[in-house]
Amino acid sequence: MLLAGRSQETGGDAEAEAPDSGKQQSADLPHSGAPAVQDPIEDTSAFENDVCSVLTEAQVDRLDVEIQQSEEDGQDFGPACRWRTETRDESFTTALLTVDGEGLSTSYADEQADRVELFEELDLIAGHPVVAVDLNDDREDGYCNVEVGLRDDLSFYLALSADVDSSPYHDDSCGAAYEIAGMAVETIEGGQ
């Protein structure tokens, strides 16, 4: 998974350090046209330390696919968790973008600089701003990434892959990513 405007190591086991979750937001955020997060989730430390816990067992059971496996996957953009079906026809990665400290502003800056092919503002999730964003627009192939502003300096990211035509997520990958992201935000909000 490569995040627009954010680097990623290839190979190896990169360990991302969680920042101070209670830090003050920079006066320079948001920027590049990103909306301010009106009701920020201040303490996300429990999820930074266990990012796979952003979805509860009950939420996973509500999905249209049967998840067989989830595993933490530290990335250089922040803690991540990979979720897969047994056939691997569908998978998604959830991540807290903790490293750059820019929240949604990074994606808005990428859009202004024409570094992303897909950039679409979506409806708010529980009052939090949301965008579909990716370097390439591969929605017709069952791929979509959704980013939710949790604070001006922190985003939640969900990258969904449903590249098999028979997947219930293939034809509306952004709708599926948005729905799953909504479940995660509900969990993160409840964890305060």
Whether residue 16 is predicted with pLDDT greater than 60 in this model: the reply is no
Structure tokens at 78: 């922040």
In this prediction the pTM is: 0.85
- Ordered structural domains, the chain, with CATH: 45-190 (3.40.1000)
Rounded distance between C-alpha atoms, residue 180 and residue 167, angstroms: 15
Q: Mean per-residue pLDDT for 66-84? A: 86
Q: What are phi and psi of 124, to 5 degrees?
A: -60, 150
pLDDT tens, 149-189? 999 999 999 999 999 999 999 999 999 999 999 999 999 99
Rounded distance between C-alpha atoms, residue 110 and residue 141, angstroms: 22
